[in-house]
Structure 1
Amino acid sequence: MGIVLKQSFLNTVILFLGFAIGGVNVMFLYTHFLHEDYFGLITFLLSTANILLPLLVFGMHHTVVKYFSSYTSKQEQDTFLMSSVLLPLLIIIPAAFLGMFFYETIANLISTKNILIKNYTWLIFFVAIFMGYFEVFYAWTKVRFKSVFGGFIKEVFARLCTSILLFAVYFNWINSEQFIYGVVIVYALRVIIMKLYAFYIYMPTISFKLPSNVKELVSFSLYIIIAGSAASVLLEIDKFMIPQVEKIAEVAYYSVGIYIASVVAIPTRAMQQITSPITAKDMNENNIVEVEKLYKQTSINLLVIGGLFFLLINLNISDLYEIINKPQFTKGIWIVLIISVAKLMELAMGTANSILVNSKYYKIFFYLSLAMALTVILLNHWLIKAVGINGAALATLIVVVVYGFIKIVYINYKFKISPFKPETVKLLLILTVVFFSFYFLNINLNPFFTIIIKSILISVIYLFLVKSLNISKDLNELFFNFIKNKKS
């Protein structure tokens, strides 16, 4: 667990920095510097690009993580890595021609409710390519257990550049339309930097040969394309479907709530950068003992950290929106609670998705992901019409909880392993008690000071209970070593 904790810690720091910058962007700069329609538009464009990403890069960012460790010679590894760059062109080039031919039809279809979308539809394709190849080159570094720099470029660089662009809008150096194109250029720069770093970490010999197991790779990639697209649908379809029913400004209100809630998922995003290739390696070696050990450790550790974020966010949410000082954005308050509960479920799953994707049962991940995507589309269509943007959040929660439970049961059936321990129940009780103890507490001070006071009280009580009940041995040991080093 040493390399996992070390790189996960660095990735967590980077994610925190990225989320801090992104938080300033989403809650203050976007809301005050950019018109709500353009805030909704850029969110729509990026979300739609994310949905297309797995298809356009042929799922190669997942294929690299799964198969790289199975090759033993440098020649095989080089051939494989070069294939991960070239094979996506078999989809990108035909898709480009189809996109040009049917552009008007596509643009008119997705801009029926909001005509502003039409003139920017073509940007979705290019952003999806930039995002996709970034993930492919990022995967090159992950399999070398060098995930920190890529994490920085992914989480910090793009958000910092966006901050600069938003200030440029504020000072009238650029207008809202130029801001949209500026963000696209940032994503292009991001993939160029990631490519250069990937070649710095590992420079493969250029080869146009196909790997010996190309049929197996293509088979896996075809499944993972749909599975990856389905996973992207689960994450992004709400922001795509809201403009088809509501005004595009509603996406802006929804995005703020989603962003705040997504802080709960910081630990799992950080840890996955290093646990995914480790799980792939253990699965390739059929080392189920180590797979189970990591499965349980990640589940409880992620729940402990994510649980604290859950409490801090939801018990301070009213004061946080008061600081934002944009009354129309308070529509997202319930979205924060709903989505953060969904994120807790994802944390509890630990490395479940990595186990499924990197096992011989990876096809079930495809079927489950496809079912999740179809379910969330249907639920979004129904619930957004019924209760507005809160319905989109409810759709996500229902799908995450139901299919998360199915995945855990399936893994237990096939491998006889579970992410849960007795400490999991204790932790859930701690979360429940602390949440309801502070939920009705009102401190009539300036919202900024109220957040500080409540956060200190919540953190002290929560961490004291977690440590006293020995919920996580890993985190207790980390805390002990930290105190020991401080004293020495």
Structure 2
Amino acid sequence: MGIVLNQSLKNTIITYIGFAIGGINTIYLYPVFLGATYYALTNYILSSANVIMPLFAIGMQNTLVKFYSQCETNEEKSRFLSFTVLFPLLLIVPLCLIGFVFFDEILYFLSKKNIIVKNYIWLIPFIGICMAYFEIFYAWLRVHMHSVFGNFIKEVALRLASLFLLVGVYYNWITVEGFVYATAVVYLLALLITMFYAFSIQKPEFQFTIPANTKDILVYTFYIILSGSVANLLLDGDKMILNQYMNIENIAYYSVATYIALVISVPSRAMHQIVYPITARLMHENNHDEMDILYKKTSINLQVVGGFVMLGIFVNIKMLYQLVPPEYAGGIAVVFMIGLSKYFDLILGNNNAIIFNTKYYRAVLFLGVLLVVLTVGLNMIFIPIYGIMGSAFATLLSITLYSLAKLMFVVKRLHLYPFTKQTLYSLYLTAVLFLGFYFWDFSMSPIIAIILKSILVTIAYVYLNYKFVISIEINQVIDGLLKKLKIVR
């Protein structure tokens, strides 16, 4: 776990810095500087772009990670890298042409409830293409074990750029309309910077040839498109559906709540960047024992770290919502529902990486497609009745069912199991601390109250996890820090 722990730790720190910046943007700057309408509009455009991104990438970001390790010569590697960059154009070009031909129909469908989106529809495919190629070049860096730079661009730089743009809106350097267009430019710059950095790591020698194992690659790619579409629809599809049924401001209220809940998934996102290629190698080598060890380690480590984040959010949520405008307060229940779904997915460790590197991934991906249909259906039922809480419930139910299905598949088919008795201990400890801290608050400024309660929760959580050795690896990290601080020898 040396390189995993090293880069995962760096990625976790970077990602949390990014989420902290994003938290400032989401909880204060967007609602106050941009307003609910244009905040919702920006979020809708980005969410829609993220949903269609897998089609533009054609799954090449995952395909690159899976098959690059199988290239034995430099010529094969160069040919394969060229293929992953050029092949998506075969779908991007016709999709853009179709969008151009049916532009009026698409425009009417997406703007019939909220006319404000009408002038910005073209930004969705533009940003989607930028996101797609960013992910491809990010994967280029990951296979060369340079995950930190791409993670910095994705998690910190993009959010920092948004912060500067929001300050620009506040000082009237740009208009709220200009902010939306400037956001698209930021995603283009992120793509270009990552691309040139990837080229500096591995100089490209583009060639119009196809790899020898093209058939295997194309079959895998088809299913990865389904996988990416499933994941992104479960993440952002609810915001697209909200636009069809409710006033666009509700997307802003929903987005604040989901962003807060998504912080729980940060450890998984950080570790996944480096664990994925290692999982691909172990599965390729058919090293079952090492894979089982890695599965259990990622599960308990993510549960401990993710449980700490979830606990911190849940016990402070009432104080946190005092910092946003009153109309956003209805999102507290959304935070709990989305947060629990993310926590359950978190404790499955590198489950996704295992599935996508086996010959059995097809069945689970088709199951994911069925669950997307279920998600869309549930949203269409519950949103008109319960509003944003109905959407959150639909997401909770769908993601939980999808995660259970993937877990059972890995257990039954691959005989890998992520849980140990430490899993139960961690669940019990987290539940007890939640009950102990949720129902009381300090009668003072919300920020000070959050800081004080967070300190107490941190001390209690870290001490109890260390005392009962919930995670050996995390205890070793703590021991190392204590030795460096010369607290223990």
Other-structure match for 1:197: 197
Looking at structure 1, the residues matched to 133 and 315 of structure 2 have their Cα atoms a distance apart, in angstroms, of: 39
Looking at structure 2, the residues matched to 75 and 284 of structure 1 have their Cα atoms a distance apart, in angstroms, of: 21
Looking at structure 2, the residues matched to 260 and 231 of structure 1 have their Cα atoms a distance apart, in angstroms, of: 19
Other-structure match for 2:407: 408
Looking at structure 1, the residues matched to 290 and 78 of structure 2 have their Cα atoms a distance apart, in angstroms, of: 28
C-alpha contact 2:82 2:204 (8 A) present in aligned 1 = yes
Looking at structure 1, the residues matched to 141 and 292 of structure 2 have their Cα atoms a distance apart, in angstroms, of: 25
C-alpha contact 1:380 1:395 (8 A) present in aligned 2 = yes
Q: How much does 1:443 deviate?
A: 2.0
Structure 1 vs Structure 2 CA RMSD: 1.0
Q: How much does 1:242 deviate?
A: 0.6
C-alpha contact 1:68 1:77 (8 A) present in aligned 2 = yes
Other-structure match for 2:326: 327
Other-structure match for 1:52: 52
Other-structure match for 1:356: 355
Looking at structure 2, the residues matched to 76 and 170 of structure 1 have their Cα atoms a distance apart, in angstroms, of: 52
SS of 2:122 mapped into structure 1: helix
Equivalent AA in structure 1 for residue 459 of structure 2: V
Other-structure match for 2:147: 147
Looking at structure 2, the residues matched to 387 and 232 of structure 1 have their Cα atoms a distance apart, in angstroms, of: 23
What are the ranges of 5 or more consecutive residues in structure 1 without an aligned counterpart?
none
Alignment of 1:240-389 (within 5 A): 240-324=240-324, 326-389=325-388
1:68 aligns with 2:39: no
SS of 2:459 mapped into structure 1: helix
Q: How much does 1:377 deviate?
A: 0.8
Looking at structure 1, the residues matched to 351 and 212 of structure 2 have their Cα atoms a distance apart, in angstroms, of: 29
C-alpha contact 2:28 2:323 (8 A) present in aligned 1 = no
Looking at structure 2, the residues matched to 285 and 364 of structure 1 have their Cα atoms a distance apart, in angstroms, of: 22
Looking at structure 1, the residues matched to 187 and 285 of structure 2 have their Cα atoms a distance apart, in angstroms, of: 37
1:447 aligns with 2:456: no
C-alpha contact 1:312 1:455 (8 A) present in aligned 2 = yes
Looking at structure 2, the residues matched to 371 and 232 of structure 1 have their Cα atoms a distance apart, in angstroms, of: 14
SS of 2:485 mapped into structure 1: helix
Q: How much does 1:374 deviate?
A: 1.1
Other-structure match for 2:35: 35
Cα offsets for 1:212-241 (capped at 9, x unmatched): 011111111111112211111010111111
Looking at structure 1, the residues matched to 286 and 66 of structure 2 have their Cα atoms a distance apart, in angstroms, of: 13
Looking at structure 2, the residues matched to 87 and 62 of structure 1 have their Cα atoms a distance apart, in angstroms, of: 14
Other-structure match for 1:478: 477
Looking at structure 2, the residues matched to 330 and 35 of structure 1 have their Cα atoms a distance apart, in angstroms, of: 15
What are the ranges of 5 or more consecutive residues in structure 2 without an aligned counterpart?
none
Q: How much does 1:204 deviate?
A: 3.0
Looking at structure 1, the residues matched to 269 and 318 of structure 2 have their Cα atoms a distance apart, in angstroms, of: 26
Q: How much does 1:332 deviate?
A: 1.1
Other-structure match for 2:110: 110
1:234 aligns with 2:234: yes
Q: How much does 1:463 deviate?
A: 1.4
Deviant stretches of 4+, over 6 Å: none
Equivalent AA in structure 2 for residue 140 of structure 1: W
SS of 1:196 mapped into structure 2: helix
Q: How much does 1:365 deviate?
A: 3.1
- CA 1:71–1:365 in 2, change beyond 3 Å: closer, same or farther? farther
Looking at structure 2, the residues matched to 146 and 413 of structure 1 have their Cα atoms a distance apart, in angstroms, of: 34
C-alpha contact 2:29 2:166 (8 A) present in aligned 1 = yes
Equivalent AA in structure 2 for residue 132 of structure 1: A
1:210 aligns with 2:210: yes
Cα offsets for 1:399-428 (capped at 9, x unmatched): 121221111111111111111000000110
Looking at structure 2, the residues matched to 84 and 470 of structure 1 have their Cα atoms a distance apart, in angstroms, of: 44
Looking at structure 1, the residues matched to 33 and 245 of structure 2 have their Cα atoms a distance apart, in angstroms, of: 26
Q: How much does 1:442 deviate?
A: 2.8
Looking at structure 1, the residues matched to 394 and 2 of structure 2 have their Cα atoms a distance apart, in angstroms, of: 37
1:435 aligns with 2:434: yes
Cα offsets for 1:333-367 (capped at 9, x unmatched): 11111111111111111011110001111212321
TM-score normalised by the chain length of structure 1:
0.98
Looking at structure 1, the residues matched to 107 and 167 of structure 2 have their Cα atoms a distance apart, in angstroms, of: 30
> Percent same amino acid among aligned pairs?
42
Equivalent AA in structure 1 for residue 371 of structure 2: M
Q: State the number of aligned residues.
A: 487
Equivalent AA in structure 1 for residue 12 of structure 2: T
Equivalent AA in structure 2 for residue 46 of structure 1: L
Cα offsets for 1:258-310 (capped at 9, x unmatched): 11111111100100000011101111111111211111101100010111111
Q: How much does 1:456 deviate?
A: 1.3
C-alpha contact 1:357 1:365 (8 A) present in aligned 2 = no
Alignment of 1:85-164 (within 5 A): 85-164=85-164
Equivalent AA in structure 1 for residue 154 of structure 2: K
Q: How much does 1:250 deviate?
A: 0.3
Question: Is 398-407 or 147-156 further displaced after alignment?
Answer: 398-407
C-alpha contact 1:223 1:363 (8 A) present in aligned 2 = yes
Question: Is 407-416 or 442-451 further displaced after alignment?
Answer: 442-451
Q: How much does 1:171 deviate?
A: 1.0
Cα offsets for 1:131-153 (capped at 9, x unmatched): 00000000001111110000001
Other-structure match for 1:422: 421
Looking at structure 2, the residues matched to 290 and 38 of structure 1 have their Cα atoms a distance apart, in angstroms, of: 49
C-alpha contact 1:227 1:369 (8 A) present in aligned 2 = yes
Looking at structure 1, the residues matched to 172 and 289 of structure 2 have their Cα atoms a distance apart, in angstroms, of: 59
Looking at structure 2, the residues matched to 191 and 449 of structure 1 have their Cα atoms a distance apart, in angstroms, of: 39
Looking at structure 1, the residues matched to 474 and 101 of structure 2 have their Cα atoms a distance apart, in angstroms, of: 56
C-alpha contact 1:356 1:364 (8 A) present in aligned 2 = no
Equivalent AA in structure 1 for residue 425 of structure 2: K
Looking at structure 1, the residues matched to 359 and 124 of structure 2 have their Cα atoms a distance apart, in angstroms, of: 34
Looking at structure 2, the residues matched to 449 and 206 of structure 1 have their Cα atoms a distance apart, in angstroms, of: 56
Q: How much does 1:111 deviate?
A: 0.9
